[in-house]
Amino acid sequence: MISVNKLCVKVGDFELKDISFEVPEGHYAVLMGKTGSGKTTILETICGLKKVLSGTICLHGKLATHTRPAEREIGYVPQDGVLFHTMTVRDNLSFALELRKWSKQKIDERVEELATLLGITGLLNRTPFGLSGGETQRISLGRALAAKPAILCLDEPLSALDEDTRGEMCTLLSDVQRLTGVTTLHITHNISESDRLGDIKFLIEGGVLKSLTSKVREKRSDLTGKVSQETSSPSDSSTQVKVD
């Protein structure tokens, strides 16, 4: 569970005030907003990468406002993957496990399991140089999930992908979330993505975070119209309606 209450964060001249929302255990939440609206700041604050001025963050029912990033048990997938280039794909996947001092056998089993789940078995022994955007994001997702975190934070993971790969990744994210039951917070500015994946949707606009729904997927069809209306996006019938 992620519970954010009256959060205030300041990064340079940019400031966010009184941000409150909650993502219940095992749900897939999508946070939408224009570029520069502060959605990445919120995600990074939850991950412990930005200092909190005031307010609280509760993770899995425990207060974690000032807990160090390492102790939050959050899997973080940044926008462009940010794979460790000096390591092989296998080492990227086993990075968190080696830090937790897992045995070599258990690490190997877990890496194989992740590689099969994400369809990257053939890439394990190569370095990340020259990988495609989709492969990079799969590995980044695998690295974040390796230590079985209770929470997964995705920062626009599909924004740099082409349409086909994006569709595949959406299916993969949905499957992974269903299989692992990990509480997920996904940031995007793409309505089709949020529509396809999100149980819960939030919109941040003008420094104010609104909950677009607290209902689950059945109501999704009603929401598309609502989101379009609220964000004043063009009523494009394609799936590529962007907020900004």
Partner 1 sequence: MTEQKAEEPLNSLKSRSDLPFYTIFIAISTIYVLLIVAMLSAETTYTTPDHIWAAFAKPEIRYAIWLSLVSCAITTVLSLWVSVPIGYLMSRHNFWGKVFIDAILDIPIVLPPLVIGLCLLILFQVELPQIEWLNEMVASESGANVSKEIAVAKTQSIDDLIRKVTKLIFGKPIGVTYEIPSVILAQFMVACAFAVRTMRVTFDQIGPRYEQVAMTLGCNRGQAFWRVVFPQAYRGLLAAGTLAWARALGEFGPILIFSGATRMKTEVLPTTVFLELTVGNIEGAVAASLIMVVSALFVLVIARMFGLTRAVI
Residues that bind partner 1 (CB under 8 A): 44, 47-49, 68-70, 72, 74-76, 78, 82, 84-87, 95-96, 99-100, 129, 143-144, 146-147
- Shortest Cβ distance from residue 79 to partner 1 (Å)? 9
- Shortest Cβ distance from residue 202 to partner 1 (Å)? 21
> DSSP secondary-structure letter at 121?
G
- Shortest Cβ distance from residue 96 to partner 1 (Å)? 4
**CB of 91 or CB of 113, closer to partner 1:** 91
CA dihedral (98, 102, 104, 108) in degrees, to 10, reads -80
Q: Rounded CA gap, 186 and 209, in Å?
A: 15
**Cβ-contact 121, 142 below 8 angstroms:** no
Q: Rounded CA gap, 201 and 30, in Å?
A: 5
- Shortest Cβ distance from residue 208 to partner 1 (Å)? 27
Q: Rounded CA gap, 163 and 202, in Å?
A: 24
- Shortest Cβ distance from residue 216 to partner 1 (Å)? 28
- Shortest Cβ distance from residue 145 to partner 1 (Å)? 11
Determine phi and psi for 192, rounding to 5 degrees: -65, -40
**CB of 100 or CB of 215, closer to partner 1:** 100
**CB of 146 or CB of 243, closer to partner 1:** 146
The H or E element that residue 58 is part of is: strand 52-59
**CB of 110 or CB of 201, closer to partner 1:** 110
**Cβ-contact 207, 17 below 8 angstroms:** yes
Name residue 11's beta-bridge partners: 14
**Cβ-contact 60, 137 below 8 angstroms:** no
**CB of 139 or CB of 223, closer to partner 1:** 139
**CB of 58 or CB of 82, closer to partner 1:** 82
**Cβ-contact 42, 185 below 8 angstroms:** no
Count Cα atoms within 13 angstroms, Cβ side, for 75: 28
Q: Rounded CA gap, 30 and 153, in Å?
A: 10
- Shortest Cβ distance from residue 68 to partner 1 (Å)? 7
**CB of 59 or CB of 212, closer to partner 1:** 59
